[in-house]
Amino acid sequence: MFKPHGARMALRVPIALAGIGLASAGSALGAVNPDDPQSVRDAFATTILANDKISPSWTGSVSGCQAGAESPTSAAATIANVNFFRSMNRLTPVTLAGAAINAKAQAAALMFEANSNLSHTPGSNWTCATAGGIEAAGRSNIALGIAGAQTVSAYMEDAGDFNDAAGHRRWILYPRARTFGTGSTTRANALWVIESTDGSRPATDLVAWPSKGYVPWPLVFERWTVSSNAAPDADYTAARVTVSTGGTQLTVAKESVHDGYADNTLVFNVSIPPALRSAGAETAFDVTVSNVLVNGVARTLRYRTIAIATDTTNAPATVTTSVAADLATIDWTSPDAPTSDVTGYRVTVVDGRGTPVFSQDVASDVAQLTVPNLPVAFYRADVRTMTAQGTSAPTSRVFAIGNPLPQSTSPAAAAVGRAQIVRTGARSRIVRLSLRTNTRVIATVQRLSWTGRWVTIRRLPHRSLQAGVVKMRIGRYTPGRYRLVVRTPATSSRTAGKVAVRFRVR
């Protein structure tokens, strides 16, 4: 549905993530209340349906290996689509990364376009290869045959035998994610997802797709996933899953468990009867996942997904926007097949926080409206048809006043390049650090409690270390799940850095 014939996607499994402070910009235009069916319908129309129509407007060219850029509106639409899916899971929205990260993602997309190929580890012999593009290829969800905001729904669908781990979806729904970058050509995308992931976990019990609450039928894919936000390292190897609707159990096929993509996640395919799907009626699905092991103790996850229709009857057929200085001109066309007489239109402009900044009702013979005095920022124009029966679902368009993307936000290099846990005995551990510069290191060992919280059990002494590969002994531990957090302070020449690496003692 969202992925044209021939489109391909790929993903990467990281072991340790570096937390680098980035200036960021973006929008939360994908905000939605998943417990309110009308909110879900409206957000689906104003975000997914609207943004999928936005062209990347790529300014580069394969000829001469000109990376160019996608338009600010396309980048904002991509992040807004990401935040729609995150909002459906009650997760904190991500922001758009700074210019340096987006430029690397753009360089990766150019490589995929130029070579008609995808790889997370492209070689320097690839056409249009650059160091930044190669780095982004290893840190991104990547796609070929599809570009711009519409890639987000394709990543979320994660269809195909090679995507049985649903890794694309898991990075988009990673609870601690804070900053994503994006780059698109006419037919390739790199969505930088592996970067600043050290935010606190939101207060939600589980992360799933389709999510808990109301979900539009077009987004109820065959492949389902669920993970525990409270126990991100839960073991789903022996988990049992059932999905029922109206008291009837559906056929469920559990995929092999693959850990290492964001939080540990159960992936399973659900066979929904075609007649049920085509009817499009409101349908509740009850999901039970039993025998989930958390620190060796079996637990059960239960939730309900309610599939709903996305009725756009009477909605305007199209909405377009044009911008000159601080003026936004909004144009729209009448509904394709109205079921009742149109009495007028309601035009609303919403800012990046989801707050209406302008609203006006106009007559049925009006098809254009100009909104003045808008500050530099991202916005969304919503146009609803008014009839005697009420207002329709909106047809929408994201636009930007000025260029709100940061132009120079590349941070100074963090001192820690990588951390790796090495076992020297039955339970004794050391950490191998790769340091880019001489630095002072602060290391903390934390244990994952049964409640899903990381509890500090040891603080290692502060150490001044020389650049290069160094080893630090961190001691012996009883069986359990642990992580080591290594911090370096900021200096005049670099930002503060943080690397977190997980390990398990059996």
For 101-140, write each residue's pLDDT tens digit.
999 999 999 999 999 999 999 999 999 999 999 999 999 9
3-state SS of 442-498 is EEEEEEECCCCCEEEEEECCCEEECCEEEEEEEEECCCEEEEEEEEECCECCECCEE
Neighbour tally for 490: CB within 10 Å? 14
Cα–Cα distance, 52 to 191 (Å, whole number): 15
| Higher per-residue pLDDT: 294 or 461 | 294
Between 255 and 410, the higher pLDDT residue: 255
Instruction: Check the CA dihedral 96-101-105-106 and report its sign.
Output: positive
Instruction: Kindly report which listed range (65-69, 194-198, 441-445) carries the lowest average pLDDT score.
Output: 194-198
Residue 81 main-chain phi, psi, to 5 deg: -65, -40
* Mean pLDDT on 428-437: 80
Q: What percent of the chain has pLDDT over 90?
A: 54
pLDDT tens digits for range 327-377:
999 999 988 766 668 899 999 999 877 788 999 999 999 999 999 989 888
For 215-222, what is the mean pLDDT? 96
Task: Give pLDDT, residue 307.
Answer: 96
Rounded to 5°, the CA angle 207-211-213 comes to 125
| Average confidence (pLDDT) over 181-193 | 96
Q: How far apart are CA 240 and CA 225, in angstroms?
A: 13
- Which 3 state secondary structure label does DSSP give 113? helix
| Helix and strand element counts for the chain (H, E) | 8, 31
When the pLDDT of each residue in the chain is averaged and rounded to a whole number, the result is 86
pLDDT in tens, 396-409: 988 888 877 654 33
pLDDT confidence of residue 475: 86
At 434 the pLDDT is 79
pLDDT at residue 21, rounded to an integer:
23
Residue with tokens 């650090």: 433
Q: How confident is the model at residue 8 (pLDDT cuts 50, 70, 90)?
A: low
User: Could you report the per-residue pLDDT of 231-275, keeping only the tens digit for each?
Assistant: 999 999 999 999 999 999 999 999 999 887 789 999 999 999 999
What's the distance, Cα to Cα, between the start and end of the chain in Å?
Answer: 44
Considering the entire predicted model, what is its pTM? 0.73
- Residue 69 is predicted with a pLDDT of 94
